[in-house]
């Protein structure tokens, strides 16, 4: 039978003593947002700061192209395509309605030009050309999009095309778009810079990025707008201020200005009333524990991935870390084995938690060590 041992740790750079009795003014509630659905989430911690109907399935319009771009970036990283590959433009791509990059049929256009045209100009023709180049057809590419969506945990999303043009079975949610936006920022930093570009010129035609916040707020550096009559005006955006990055998604607003204004409300609220801190790095020691019958007597425990927390501004010093360890830990121990959990608490609320893993492997000890520890375990229970 395993026992759970709880230890309270004082987080580095945090002062716990003398704070608990201090008077705390609660944060104001989030502003009212004129959208069918929205979410405001911290990038580092994943904490949802504000949301409304964030899991409601809605048409995403051209925000769809975030997944199209994500798939293209992965194909580039895998070496299956290159930025300077020449893509032959099909008649289907050339005839696409809606936003266009004005590529010409039967011409060859580099992947980079198509990718930037799709991200900055929202070119439907560029999206279809990329889909056909990678998968042979847009329909097959949509299957790839859905596979990536499942891998990312976007379980309320289904894609039918690479553009976001209306289809009854083409839908997603604000929450899923936030997951995808974070993945783009995390996994494709070399391509993410294009989402901040205000204009792009192709075929001697200059078009502006439809994300108005790129002009209004210098902290905003992406991501994508969308609009159809069915979807309304939508915007997935990200902003970074003083090292803190937030992701906002608003779906179903009434106008171009409205989607920018409602997003700005969310950003101003999040940055004003919350703060995010990195607590532990992946692979660094969080705590240690005794190991029985091992070649070493003590094992360092840490995290497989970084842990950050988002808390109301001014309450960072009140955080307490509690480690819950499985006992006894008996050798052999494999590196990466889950042996407990660390919880980060604010008052009585768990604001973050993550498994504790063995940072190193420990082999069985000598026969003498095994016999001695067996006797001690019997004596001590």
Say which CATH number the domain at 136 has: 3.40.710.10
Residues 204 and 338 both lie in one domain: no
The answer to the question of residue 103 being in a domain is: yes
Residues 160 and 231 both lie in one domain: yes
Q: 3-class secondary structure for 322-346?
A: EEEEEECCECCECCCCEEEEEEEEE
Residue 235 structural domain: 37-253
Residues 225 and 185 both lie in one domain: yes
pLDDT on residue 15: 30
Domain at 364, CATH number: 2.60.410.10
Residues 236 and 108 both lie in one domain: yes
The answer to the question of residue 32 being in a domain is: no
Q: 3-class secondary structure for 57-68?
A: CECCHHHHHHHH
CA distance 131 to 164: 13
The answer to the question of residue 274 being in a domain is: no
CA distance 193 to 90: 28
Residues 52 and 14 both lie in one domain: no
Burial class for 252, CB neighbours closer than 10 Å (0-12, 13-18, 19+): buried
Helices (H), 153-305: 174-187, 189-192, 213-216, 256-273
Residues 173 and 207 both lie in one domain: yes
pLDDT on residue 55: 98
pLDDT on residue 149: 98
Residues 164 and 42 both lie in one domain: yes
The answer to the question of residue 64 being in a domain is: yes
Q: Any idea which residues carry the catalytic annotation?
A: 62, 65, 122
**How many domains is the chain partitioned into structurally?**
2
* pTM, full prediction: 0.90
Residues 43 and 102 both lie in one domain: yes
Residue that is last in its domain, among 236, 253, 270? 253
Tell me how far CA of residue 236 lies from CA of 23, 82, 139, 152, in angstroms: 37, 27, 25, 17
pLDDT on residue 203: 86
CA distance 166 to 231: 9
Residue that is last in its domain, among 253, 288, 307? 253
* pLDDT mean for each 10 residues of the chain (381 residues): 46 33 60 97 97 98 98 97 96 93 94 96 96 97 98 98 97 98 96 96 92 97 96 98 97 97 98 96 95 95 96 95 93 96 94 96 93 88 67
Residues 227 and 287 both lie in one domain: no
């Amino acid at each position: 039978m395993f026992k759970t041992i709880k230890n309270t740790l004082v987080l580095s750079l945090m002062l716990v003593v003398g704070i608990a009795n201090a008077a705390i003014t609660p944060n104001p509630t989030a502003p009212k947002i004129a959208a069918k659905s929205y979410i405001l989430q911290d990038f580092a911690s994943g904490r949802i700061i504000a949301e409304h109907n964030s899991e409601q399935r809605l048409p995403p319009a051209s925000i769809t192209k975030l997944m199209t771009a994500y798939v293209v970036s992965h194909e580039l990283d895998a070496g299956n395509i290159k930025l300077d590959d020449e893509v032959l433009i099909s008649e289907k791509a050339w005839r696409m309605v809606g936003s266009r990059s004005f590529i010409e049929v039967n011409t060859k256009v580099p992947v980079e030009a198509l990718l930037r045209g799709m991200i900055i100009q929202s070119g439907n023709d560029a999206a279809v050309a990329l889909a056909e180049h990678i998968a042979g057809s847009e329909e097959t590419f949509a299957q790839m999009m859905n596979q990536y969506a499942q891998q990312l945990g976007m379980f309320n999303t289904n894609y039918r095309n690479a553009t976001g043009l209306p289809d009854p079975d083409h839908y997603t949610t604000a929450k899923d778009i936030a997951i995808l936006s974070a993945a783009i920022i995390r996994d494709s930093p070399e391509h993410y810079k294009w989402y901040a570009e205000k204009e792009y010129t192709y075929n001697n035609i200059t078009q502006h990025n439809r994300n108005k916040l790129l002009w209004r707020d210098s902290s905003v550096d992406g991501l994508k707008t969308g609009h159809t009559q069915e979807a309304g005006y939508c915007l997935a955006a990200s902003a970074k201020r003083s090292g803190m990055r937030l992701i906002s998604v608003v779906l179903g607003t009434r106008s171009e200005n409205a989607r920018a204004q409602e997003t700005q409300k969310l950003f101003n609220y999040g940055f004003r009333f919350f703060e995010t801190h990195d607590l532990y790095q992946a692979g660094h020691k969080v705590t240690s524990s005794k190991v029985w019958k091992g070649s070493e007597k003590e094992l360092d425990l840490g995290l497989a991935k970084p842990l950050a927390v988002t808390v109301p501004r001014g309450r960072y010093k009140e955080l307490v870390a509690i480690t819950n360890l499985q006992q006894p830990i008996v050798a052999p121990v494999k590196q990466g084995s889950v042996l407990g959990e660390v919880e980060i608490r604010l008052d009585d609320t768990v604001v973050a938690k993550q498994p504790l893993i063995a940072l190193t492997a420990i082999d069985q000890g000598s026969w003498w060590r095994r016999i001695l520890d067996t006797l001690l375990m019997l004596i001590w229970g």
